[in-house]
A = this chain, B = another copy of it.
Amino acid sequence: MQEISFGSDNHSAVHPLVMAALSEVNQGFCFGYGDDPYTEEVIALLRDSFGGNCDIWMVMTGTGANVISLQALLHSFNAVLCPHTSHINVDECGAVQKFTQARLLPINTPDGKLSPELIEPALGGRGDQHHSQKKIVSISQSTEYGTAYSLDELSALAEYVHSKGLLLHIDGARLANAAAYLGVSLKAMTSEVGADVVSFGGTKNGMMFGEAIISFVPELTQNILYFRKQASQLYSKARFIAAQYKAYLQDELWRSCALHANRMASLLAQELDQFPQVRVTQKVQANAVFVILPPEWIKALQPRYMFYMWDEVIHEARLMCSFTTREEHISTLIRDIRTLSECRENGIIQNLQ
């Protein structure tokens, strides 16, 4: 156990209301594999949140949600365009390739966000049997850089993607953080802007486990039923995901958790800004702060505050906040940084512990 961690929003515990919901459903017999009343109820709730006209499936992990969503829309000869920084490209050990046998074609972006201008040059080869056929544009909202697409950006992207005969997938592991940042509903950011398939993650923002896949193209995704089981992502005691999501949706718990996490990230960025040796490299919109630090500071801070390096070459670290990050965690970090800042002048850097 770590006293303070800026390592990941999944370093956090489970929200008490979610834990209470788990206990509450823990009685009696219940059908498995999603054929239970809890699942039925929560899917109806989720459907409302996402605009009504959609199909929904529960899965175990975020990687599971991504690969099943993509699998349902892809043939093996297809390709997926995605930002170079996307979780499916960088952090899933090739899961998309494993499940779909299709290709990821990553595109470099300055801020983790795709745009029609960035996609345009990557199209081509359509109808040519020698080339993987582009089929999906996959984005993350919020992005792995802690940035968020505006509603206008999403609409423009979806329109462009559809005009090219492609589909828009949104990895929503941190969808809550984006909705909280934009101050909009879940449906405003998905069905209303023209997304095709979206995941809505809970694990990074207060739940214990469980992710939801939401499809706005039900006619294209009817086989998810089978892909999910074949992908080993069908949960037997499904009521325990359903109960979590119910608590998560109740009074928009997801939003208050995400708002807090975002606020902590803003505060952290603001505090970091006072140090001339520090440079925040991305806009802080969701719950991540990307920051270039002096290498000796990194060495001193990492054991105590547990964070990951994003780019070792330029000494860029990623500091993640979550619904359990507290102001005192930030002030403690800032205090240590101030000490380092002063040490620097003396040329003496030691481990703060």
Residues of chain A at the chain B interface (Cβ within 8 Å)? 1-5, 7-8, 10-14, 16, 19, 22-23, 25-33, 36-37, 60-64, 67, 71, 75-79, 90-95, 97-99, 101-104, 129-133, 203-204, 208-209, 223, 225-237, 240, 306, 324
Complex Cα–Cα for A332 and B202 (A) = 41
Complex Cα–Cα for A226 and B117 (A) = 27
Question: Of the candidates B32, B95, B104, which one forms a contact with A231 in the assembled complex, judged by CB atoms under 8 Å apart?
Answer: B95
A-B contact pairs, 14 of them (CB 8 A): A2-B29, A7-B31, A11-B31, A12-B29, A13-B26, A13-B30, A76-B94, A90-B130, A92-B230, A97-B97, A133-B226, A204-B236, A209-B237, A231-B232
Whether A79 lies near B94 (C-beta < 8 A) is: yes
Smallest CB separation, A80 vs chain B (Å): 11
- Cβ of A129: which chain B residues have Cβ within 8 Å of it? 33, 93, 225-226, 228-229, 234
**Given contact pairs A1-B37, A2-B28, A209-B240, A93 touches B233 in the complex (Cβ within 8 A):** no
Complex Cα–Cα for A25 and B11 (A) = 12
Copies per assembly: 4
Complex Cα–Cα for A1 and B41 (A) = 12
- Cβ of A11: which chain B residues have Cβ within 8 Å of it? 29-32
Interface of A (DSSP majority class): loop
- Cβ of A29: which chain B residues have Cβ within 8 Å of it? 1-5, 7, 11-13, 306, 324
- Cβ of A36: which chain B residues have Cβ within 8 Å of it? 1
10 more contacts with CB within 8 A, not counting A10-B32, A19-B26, A129-B229, are A13-B29, A14-B237, A22-B22, A23-B23, A62-B236, A63-B232, A77-B229, A93-B129, A93-B230, A129-B228
Question: A18's closest neighbor in chain B, by CB?
Answer: B26
Complex Cα–Cα for A30 and B223 (A) = 37
- Cβ of A25: which chain B residues have Cβ within 8 Å of it? 13
Smallest CB separation, A219 vs chain B (Å): 15
- Cβ of A28: which chain B residues have Cβ within 8 Å of it? 1-3, 13
Question: A329's closest neighbor in chain B, by CB?
Answer: B29
- Cβ of A133: which chain B residues have Cβ within 8 Å of it? 226
Question: Of the candidates B12, B92, B226, which one forms a contact with A229 in the assembled complex, judged by CB atoms under 8 Å apart?
Answer: B92
